Structure formats: C-alpha cells, structure tokens
Chains A and B, each alone.
Chain A
Amino acid sequence: MANIDYDVIVIGAGPGGYHAAIRAAQLGLKTAIVEREKVGGVCLNVGCIPTKAMLHAAEVRAEAKHASEFGLNLNEASLDIAKLNGWKDGIVKRLTGGVSGLLKGNKVTLLSGEASFVDDHTVEVGGQKHTASHFIIATGSEPAKLPGVAVDQEVIVDSTGALVMPDPVPARMLCIGGGVIGFEFAQVYNNLGSEVKIIEFMPNVIPGADADAVKEFTKIMKKQGISIETQTKANKAERKSDGVHVEIENVQDGEKRTEVFDRVLVAIGRRPRTDGLNADKAGVQISERGFIPADKQQRTNVPHIFSIGDVAGNPMLAHKAMKEGLVAAEVIAGKPAEQDAVAIPGVVYTNPELAWVGLTEAEAIEKGHKVKKGVFPMAASGRAMTLQQTDGFIKMVVEEDTDLVLGVHIVGPRASDLLGEAGLALEMAATASDIALTIHAHPTLGEGVLEAAEAVHKQAIHIMNK
C-alpha cells in the first residue's frame, strides 16, 4: 500500500497494547498507539496495581495485630484514609508516567481519543483519519453489570469505585462474586475494619483453581473473619437512609431475605470492550459473547488485523495480554512467533495468596493423565514460621509415568513469587526430580516447592511421608 501513515496502529494502551507497541517499535516498525482514557489501561489505573497497593496497606494493618506475639505492641494504630488513597494514586501515577516515557522513548506516536474503523486500513481518532498496514486491537474489558444492582460508584461500586476507600471505612460490606476481584477487595476491607460477606452464585469460589487449594484458601479466609456463602445471588439493591438493602436469594431452595450493607461491590466478571470500534467496517468478526477471537499468531479473521488481551478471550489476565502483544508485534515484523505457552499463571493476591500454574488435579485426570501428587504444608516451613504465616500448602501434580510436572498449586505467603519457578518448570518440561535435585536456598518459602516435589516421591524430609 502506498502512502500509509504507519506499519502498525495499536488500539488501546493497556498491558497488551503497550507491550505490542514497544516490541513493534523495537523491531523497526513505524508504530502508533491509540488510547481513549489513560495510558496503562485497566491494570495500571484501576486494576492490578492499585488493588495490590490497597492489599499491601491492609496486610500491614493485619500483621501489626499479630506483632504482639513477639512483643511489638502496635495496637493504637490509626488510619489516615486520605493519605492511603493518595499513596495508592501516587504509585499509579509513577507507573503510568513510566509507560508514557517508554512509548515516547521508543518513538511510538500516541494518538489520544477513541479509535473507530473506517475501513480495514483506516481508523478515525478524534475526527482525524490514520492509515496503517496492520492493526492490533487491544481494547480490553470492563466490569459486567448485574441487573437490579445499579453501580453508582458511591455505595454500590464496581472494582474501580472500590479502589477509593471511603471515610470512615464502611462497617458492613458485601462483595457480590467470589472470584479473584471479590476476594481481594473482601480482604482489604476486612483488614481495615469492615464486616465482610462474599456471595457467589456457583457452588465453588475462584473458578479454575484446584479444588483442594480452594478448600484450604476458603477455610483461611473464613478464619480471618470473611463470611462466604456459595449458591447465593443478589436480586436487587436499594439505597435507603440506613444503608443499601440487598435482596439475597439462596439459589438451591429459593429462600429470599434482605440484608443491609454500607457498601456493595459488584464483581461478577468482566466483558470484552468493543463499543465504538466499528469492527464490522474492517470486516472483523465479533463472537456472540463480544470477544474478537484470534488464532495462535493473534490474527483475527482479517489477516492484517490482530486481537490481544481481554478482548481476544479468557483468561483476562495482564500477563496473558502482555505475551499476546509481543506475539502480535513479532508476527507483524515477519517473525515466526506464536502464543505457545504451556501454562498461564493465576493469582489471588490476598494474604495468604492463592496461586497456580498448569493443570489442576481434576483437569489432569480429565485429560487422561495418570496422576501423582505431592503436598507440603506451610506449617512445616521454618521460613513460614519466622514470618508468622503458616497457613496453606504447596501441591504439585505430576504425570506418574514420566514424572513430568503438570501443575503447581500454592496457598501461602508470596505464593505468586513462587510461581516463576513452577512456570519455568512447566515450560522446560521439568520433572519433579529436576525440581527436587535443584538446591533451593534455606530458609525460604521456595524450599516448599522442592519439598512438594520430594513428597511426590514420598521422600520429603520435613514431613512424614504417607
């Protein structure tokens, strides 16, 4: 094509979009990125980063309570809520500023506004037309709405509204949805003083995680004081002078009751965002559920238009979007890249964390593997004891015939940081023996991964092998 403005225009500057744009620029492509809100997208502005900041603050508060066990009395702690909100916003600002700087440093042109396709080689942004030989759609997702429970971002909030801690901290908090977002906010509010209840429509919370791990995790959350009701739904919510009246229904027996809360979080999932994109004008197909599906090279049905991240499909995770962004950019630059990851890690950043990578025990069995497993409890970890965090375990699922590691499931402090090793093991096709034979530093939480691998072979040292 003659006279095109760019080799590639990336639509959306979230984790997927900015990874795609930077890699495209690194590979010598003339690149522009379109953003209608803030650079960094959901993850940096109203997702991963601010939630983790809130979790950390709340965790320090919770740990302070346990410090008296070793003689440190911090019981008269006070919370400056304005400062908490400001500190969190400051982190977000630093990181989004960093991404803007990286885009600029890599000579990626930032086009501010909403992109909509005019044809398959042209988008319009703020009344201006821009042409490109390739496009990468990275428009992300937004919170799903719950009929009858209208979000006002004051007392009935979605994950964005929940990030602003009200003053005073709400006395009674309801989280509708027992997924990752529901649990993370439940713990933030619980640790800062709210009485918190989670309701989940399905029989199990945290879909996709290993059943044993979820059971252990739920037990610990309940011990911390979070109330969890499964097979329960919210029919409607009404603001009254004494709080939000929520009609709650047990979906098994149909019994209904009304409970009153000071804050209600709707976290029932997210839906792909394609409004305003006019994808049809480029001939790009959108699925029934609103996704723009892509193949292993991240190509849509239109070969020069790519789709990555939340809008491309589940799981909606930042690190998946980042990888897909790199793949799309490399394919456009003519490299034989492919989204060929063996496993995508999942994490709930509560304390303890629930984190996993690879197949759950049930999935492994369903796929026809003969499975062996090894479990190492945190209670047997010296490092965990020194951290006052002995709840949880590390479970390793292994293929019996080959000893290949199929999945690792962790409930414990900093479980997310232990996933790097497990993920590498899966990608390298490591066996449980490979992990058991690797020297892990002592004392560390990571030793638990070694001991779980030893437990697979019934020769863990710090526990009796059954």
Chain B
Amino acid sequence: GRDLHPAAPSVRRLAREMGVELNSVQGTGIAGRISEEDVRRAAGTPSVT
C-alpha cells in the first residue's frame, strides 16, 4: 500500500506541532484522508465536541 500518509502538508505540520503520530490517526475522509479534525481528535483536543 501507500507508504505515505494521505494528509495535506498543513495537516502533517499540525500533527508535528501537536505531537501526534500520523501512523496512529484514522483518516475519516475520502480514500482515508486525514483531516485537521482527525489530528485534533487524536490529540484529545477536538475543536468541536
């Protein structure tokens, strides 16, 4: 399979800033794309509760 995370550059940067491993994030978008919200949820601080 694809060895890169299906996440936009800004989402990958956000994950680094929040200390989130993209490996551990389940993308909820089309083709398993990881959104900003997916990263925030994985960090335990979703912006919408």
- Seen from chain A, the residues whose Cβ lies within 8 Å of a Cβ on chain B are 336-338, 340, 342, 367-369, 399, 402-404, 406, 427-429, 431
Given A402-B31, A431-B30, does the pair A367, B8 have CB atoms closer than 8 Å?
no
User: Nearest Cβ distance between residue A360 and chain B, in whole angstroms?
Assistant: 15
Determine if B8 and A427 form an interchain contact, defined as CB atoms under 8 angstroms apart: yes
Determine if A429 and B7 form an interchain contact, defined as CB atoms under 8 angstroms apart: yes
A336 to B22 Cα, complex, angstroms:
14
In terms of DSSP, what is the predominant structure of the interface of chain A?
Answer: loop
Determine if B13 and A336 form an interchain contact, defined as CB atoms under 8 angstroms apart: yes
Determine if B33 and A429 form an interchain contact, defined as CB atoms under 8 angstroms apart: yes
Determine if A369 and B2 form an interchain contact, defined as CB atoms under 8 angstroms apart: yes
A402 partner residues in chain B, CB cutoff 8 A:
2, 6, 31-32
A404 to B31 Cα, complex, angstroms:
7
Determine if B1 and A369 form an interchain contact, defined as CB atoms under 8 angstroms apart: yes
A399 to B3 Cα, complex, angstroms:
12
Determine if B31 and A429 form an interchain contact, defined as CB atoms under 8 angstroms apart: yes
With both beta carbons as reference points, the residue of chain A lying nearest to B16 in the complex is identified as: A336
With both beta carbons as reference points, the residue of chain A lying nearest to B14 in the complex is identified as: A336
Residues of B1-38 contacting chain A, CB below 8 A: 1-4, 6-9, 12-13, 16-17, 30-33
Which one of B2, B4, B6, B33 has the highest number of Cβ atoms from chain A below 10 Å of its Cβ?
B2
With both beta carbons as reference points, the residue of chain B lying nearest to A427 in the complex is identified as: B9
A423 to B37 Cα, complex, angstroms:
24
A427 partner residues in chain B, CB cutoff 8 A:
8-9
A340 partner residues in chain B, CB cutoff 8 A:
9, 12
A338 partner residues in chain B, CB cutoff 8 A:
12, 16
Which one of A337, A367, A402 has the highest number of Cβ atoms from chain B below 10 Å of its Cβ?
A402
Determine if B8 and A431 form an interchain contact, defined as CB atoms under 8 angstroms apart: no
User: Nearest Cβ distance between residue A429 and chain B, in whole angstroms?
Assistant: 4
Given A404-B31, A429-B31, does the pair A336, B17 have CB atoms closer than 8 Å?
yes
With both beta carbons as reference points, the residue of chain B lying nearest to A434 in the complex is identified as: B30
A-B contact pairs, 12 of them (CB 8 A): A336-B13, A336-B17, A338-B12, A338-B16, A340-B12, A367-B3, A369-B2, A402-B31, A427-B8, A427-B9, A429-B6, A429-B7
With both beta carbons as reference points, the residue of chain A lying nearest to B34 in the complex is identified as: A429
